[in-house]
Amino acid sequence: MKLTGISAYDTTASSFERHRALPNSVVEAIHSAIWSVASLPDHARVLDVGAGTGRIGKAFLAAGDFYVGVDSSLAMLQEFSAKPEFRESKTCLLAQAEGRQLPFQSASFDLVLLMQVLSAAGKWRPLLDECRRVLRPGGIIAVGHTRSPESGIDAQLKRRLVAILEEMQVPWHQPRESRRQALDWLESISVRHWYRDAAVWNVTTSTEEFLSRHRTGARFAALPLSIQEEALARLHAWAETNFGSASTRFEEQHSFELGIFKF
């Protein structure tokens, strides 16, 4: 399926992984954690909804799974298709499609991945209904996201940026609440579920790095440029008051949390 129009992620695709790449050991651990609790066949049929640039999907290619990655952004998929892992794989397909309207028959996949997707999904119920439709009986939906410490600089900057946007009367989504509601619903309809921290790793970050990363975030980049600049200027001033120079480096621990749901 080919979509018309430009995805919000198209303009940030080329720089997406510059600030969001995960260590290889983390993506391998995500694959291993799912297989450790889920009874999946060898060379499982895997659908990755919101596959993006393949930063997580590459572990499934390396494992030899039959992998299908879909994303609404053609530019993100082009970044994915340029990776050596994709070019060398004989069991990988990529398709431009919306998660709420998947171009696949019902009961086609053993595993559906929603990695770093639910927080930005907005209306999550149609997305999850469609994922359930293409999942075979006994299949697995795996939901994952990166978690940073509440007291860490990244978490504090995120909270302050949301507050600034509210002060500017800019409507903004509440990713944590949306994700929690979606997980509660999946729990209520699944046969069994598990939560796992697939991996824990240390990162070094700064206000400067946070500001650069948010300039390339699809939702933020979709705001008018004047709003982006004012919000980031306010955040920069607040951070210098609270953390010192924007280039000051801080180390904090991140983890990747998985919710694994069997149907």
Q: Which amino acid is at 176?
A: R
**What is the architecture of the domain spanning 10-149+173-204+253-262?**
3-Layer(aba) Sandwich (3.40)
In this predicted structure, what is the pLDDT of residue 77?
Answer: 95
Domain boundaries, the chain: 10-149+173-204+253-262
**If you average pLDDT over residues 216-236, what whole number do you get?**
89
- Predicted confidence band at 220 (pLDDT cuts at 50, 70, 90)? confident
In this predicted structure, what is the pLDDT of residue 218?
Answer: 72
249 near 151, Cβ under 8 Å?
Answer: no
- The number of helix segments (H) and strand segments (E) in the chain equals 11, 7
Name the percent of the chain in helix, strand, coil, to the closest 5.
Answer: 45, 25, 30
224 near 115, Cβ under 8 Å?
Answer: no
Average of per-residue pLDDT values in the chain: 91
In this predicted structure, what is the pLDDT of residue 139?
Answer: 96
Tens-place pLDDT, residues 105-152: 999 999 999 999 987 777 899 999 999 999 999 999 999 999 999 999
- Predicted confidence band at 4 (pLDDT cuts at 50, 70, 90)? very low
Residues of the chain with pLDDT > 70: what percent?
97
In this predicted structure, what is the pLDDT of residue 111?
Answer: 98
Q: Report the range of poorest mean pLDDT among 71-80, 116-125, 243-252.
A: 116-125
Q: Is 45 helix (H, G, I), strand (E, B) or coil?
A: strand
Dihedral of the alpha carbons of 132, 146, 216, 239, in degrees to the nearest 10: 140
In this predicted structure, what is the pLDDT of residue 86?
Answer: 86
Rounded CA separation 187/262 (Å): 9
Rounded CA separation 252/109 (Å): 37
Tens-place pLDDT, residues 77-99: 999 999 988 888 888 999 999 99
Rounded CA separation 66/112 (Å): 12
- Predicted confidence band at 8 (pLDDT cuts at 50, 70, 90)? low
Q: Is 169 helix (H, G, I), strand (E, B) or coil?
A: coil
In this predicted structure, what is the pLDDT of residue 2?
Answer: 47
Query: Strand 192-205 relative to strand 250-262: parallel, antiparallel, unpaired?
Result: antiparallel
180 near 246, Cβ under 8 Å?
Answer: no
Question: From the centroid of its chain, how far is CA 259?
Answer: 13
- Predicted confidence band at 178 (pLDDT cuts at 50, 70, 90)? confident
Select from 150, 144, 147 the least CA-distant residue to 195.
144
Does residue 251 surpass a pLDDT of 80? yes
Rounded CA separation 205/202 (Å): 10
- Bridge partner list, 144: 115, 258
Q: Report the range of poorest mean pLDDT among 4-8, 86-90, 152-156.
A: 4-8
- Predicted confidence band at 75 (pLDDT cuts at 50, 70, 90)? very high
In this predicted structure, what is the pLDDT of residue 10?
Answer: 79
Tens-place pLDDT, residues 27-65: 999 999 999 998 898 889 999 999 999 999 999 999 999
Token digits of residue 16: 């997406």
In this predicted structure, what is the pLDDT of residue 136?
Answer: 96
